[in-house]
Chain A
């Protein structure tokens, strides 16, 4: 058993771009669930739409030789346009989703959001849209990563910092690490600022007692819609960040992904500023350590290497159950503040 290797891998997982991307998605979900109490079970749909919005925009511009309507675009402009498209698509999806559903009770909302997210995935993997989304194989990383990697200020080779070795600017790189965590920090700052604003107080009021807030003359529907749209847009950014280290594939953003985000948000503590970040770090590190330990300590005949992944995910499911039953406030949360209410 390679203890030093496992320790290094676990250390790398703490700051890995995947951890940051899921932390960002969880911050988005924190706007929905933590602040407003919306049971959005389709968060992966927002992430997938963001990924498609960015990757398809960049792919089309790149295929056109870096030109849009005859104007040559710099790499930075391409990235900005891609991110803008991702945001617009996710905002539209949020408006479309919220319009019929935000008047519904909690579990109806959960069912509709999960159904909408699955519809996005079905459409994405449908053969009829193969020219746009690449069907179930998705969009290859080489089709949309070039602008992001070309603006990297880091060297174009492997760089070792302490015990960790990552590429300077390609795929899962130091450049991606820096960008991803900067975005997470900015989103956390936004959450911190907004949750302490009058606007955030209204959302918390809706979470605690919708009718009381309505009786104060607030437009509950409008506030819920704003929370849904903002959280969804942040989720879409999380999807874009995730796709930089991987590729755009619809099946990686299915229902399990949404459930992982829920688990890590509840683990860290919903309605807290650092909950999503801490939750994501604990979730991914623990998953890696459990897989490493089980692979190293349990003999191959008992638990083969292909069975490690389902084994670890059984534990994730059990963790989610235990968290909700015994510690719904997670590591950082305040139990008095966050009772999951009937809505």
Chain B
């Protein structure tokens, strides 16, 4: 696949990133020199809106609320640069988002399906982990007994990822491959995935209820590195995310199966004609995508210190924004797009109220579709 590492496309992506970063730095400098007097009121407003867990807009605000409180406590000793802090938060969030959106992009690339149920795969990973590791009694829907499994976090997480990947296999074997065989169009398949998403999100609510649950009860210790503060769990999450993304990139670029996947993504009929088993590749992509989504969900639950039945559903549109920004069906584009979305949504909280940060990301999605519908890394082609 020539376009994935096309130097021109990469240069373009780099230019966009640098320009965005420059623009933000300039704005930040302007803000800090001009608006010193306003800073405390902003922090107060943030703290007052930050303590609303389980609201759609307040996705990362729990982490942020702790930020502002620590900020207040440490302002006399160490000053954290808010811009750099937000940038780091944004990169962390973007990396976690990338885990989910790379899978979404792979599915779109190989099957043409915009999978609206991908957010639920993210929640499923986190909820399964909670089910396996929780010390509190848990139960299954319709089964009236309560029990505790209480595995160690690492074992539970690996098992949950395996189970989630299994749901990807199941879905493709019993639903999506049948639909493809019946030649049901991708638009109908998209509406089917909407139905699946509606069913799954309510199933998860039925399973663990509406409250926010925590995977790990340990409190994240935060360290000061120069002008920024970062927690151990966040650092570990970022590390795992980078390792997974590197592994997926290596798989796509250097293995036979990965090359076959990119071939199917480029042109399924040509790939079939050259002897690639398209159905097998698509099944592999489903397993990979759902597994990655589960990893993203678990890491996100650790990063945000809690998860709920709709934590993934809230991310769905950000994933679509990331995937569209990078170019639909381009896995590396989804990676770049996720990090851009992560940074923009976190950094925008410096000027906009934090409960609007996802609205900002969605605004970018609409602007991108307006001016460059093929995305950053996509080839210019007619999409209308």
Contact = CB atoms under 8 A, between A and B. Distances in A.
Interface of A: 39, 41, 100-101, 103-108, 110-112, 114-116, 118-119, 121-123, 125-128, 136, 251, 254-256, 259, 262-263, 266, 299, 301-303, 306-307, 309-311, 313-325, 328, 340-343
B355 A318 contact: no
B384 A306 contact: no
A317 B197 contact: yes
Contacts of B48: 127
A160 to B, nearest CB: 36
A315 B199 CA distance: 7
Interface in B319-333: 320-321, 324
Interface string B111-148: 00010000000000000000000000000011110000
B163 interface: no
A122 B209 contact: no
A123 B358 CA distance: 10
17 contacts: A39-B190, A100-B370, A105-B384, A110-B190, A121-B56, A122-B362, A127-B353, A127-B355, A128-B355, A128-B356, A254-B56, A262-B194, A301-B144, A317-B200, A320-B192, A325-B182, A325-B188
Interface in B177-220: 179, 182, 184-188, 190-192, 194-200, 202-203, 205-206, 209
A104 B373 contact: yes
B369 interface: yes
Contacts of B144: 299, 301-302
B49 interface: yes
A321 B366 contact: no
A251 B317 CA distance: 16
B294 to A, nearest CB: 20
Contacts of A313: 198-199, 202
B187 A259 contact: no
Query: Taking chain A's interface residues, is the majority helix, strand, or loop, or is none over half, making it mixed?
Result: helix
Contacts of B324: 108, 111
A310 B203 contact: yes
Q: Which 9 A-B pairs have the closest CB atoms?
A: A317-B199, A320-B195, A317-B198, A321-B195, A103-B384, A310-B206, A310-B202, A313-B202, A122-B359
A342 B355 contact: no
Interface string B317-361: 100110010000000000000000000000000000101101100
Query: Taking chain B's interface residues, is the majority helix, strand, or loop, or is none over half, making it mixed?
Result: helix
A323 B384 CA distance: 28
Task: Identify which of B144, B191, B353 gathers the most chain A CB atoms within 10 Å of its CB.
Answer: B191
Contacts of A262: 191, 194
B325 to A, nearest CB: 11
Contact of B355 (A106, A126, A321): A126
Contacts of A41: 194
Given A104-B373, A325-B184, A115 B321 contact: yes
B14 to A, nearest CB: 26
B153 interface: no
Contacts of A303: 142
Contacts of A302: 142-144
Contacts of A104: 369, 373, 383-384
Contacts of B74: none
A306 B208 CA distance: 12
A204 to B, nearest CB: 17
B57 interface: yes
Interface in B78-113: none
Contacts of A310: 202-203, 205-206
B188 A324 contact: yes
A328 B185 CA distance: 12
A342 B190 contact: no
A263 B202 CA distance: 16
Nearest to A319: B195
B260 interface: no
A314 B202 contact: yes
A133 to B, nearest CB: 12
Interface of B: 45, 48-49, 55-57, 114, 141-144, 179, 182, 184-188, 190-192, 194-200, 202-203, 205-206, 209, 313, 317, 320-321, 324, 353, 355-356, 358-359, 362-363, 365-366, 369-370, 373, 383-384
Given A256-B198, A320-B195, A342 B370 contact: no
Given A122-B358, A340-B185, 18 more contacts: A100-B369, A103-B384, A111-B114, A111-B317, A115-B320, A115-B321, A119-B363, A123-B356, A127-B355, A255-B313, A310-B203, A316-B198, A320-B198, A321-B196, A324-B188, A324-B195, A328-B188, A340-B187
B356 A314 contact: no
A112 B365 contact: yes
Nearest to B210: A306
A111 B365 contact: yes
A320 B196 CA distance: 8
B373 A318 contact: no
Contact of B190 (A107, A136, A306): A107
Nearest to A303: B142
B198 A343 contact: no
A310 B190 CA distance: 22
A108 B373 contact: yes
Contacts of A39: 187, 190
Nearest to A113: B366
Contacts of B179: 325
B185 A307 contact: no
Contacts of A128: 353, 355-356
B268 to A, nearest CB: 15
Given A310-B203, A317-B202, A321-B196, A107 B114 contact: yes
A110 B195 CA distance: 14
A341 B185 CA distance: 7
Contact of B203 (A101, A125, A127, A314): A314
A162 to B, nearest CB: 34
Contact of B195 (A103, A317, A328): A317
A311 B384 CA distance: 39
Given A115-B321, A125-B57, A128-B353, A108 B383 contact: yes
B317 A115 contact: yes
Contacts of B195: 259, 263, 317-324
Contacts of B55: 125, 136
B198 A106 contact: no
Contacts of B209: 306
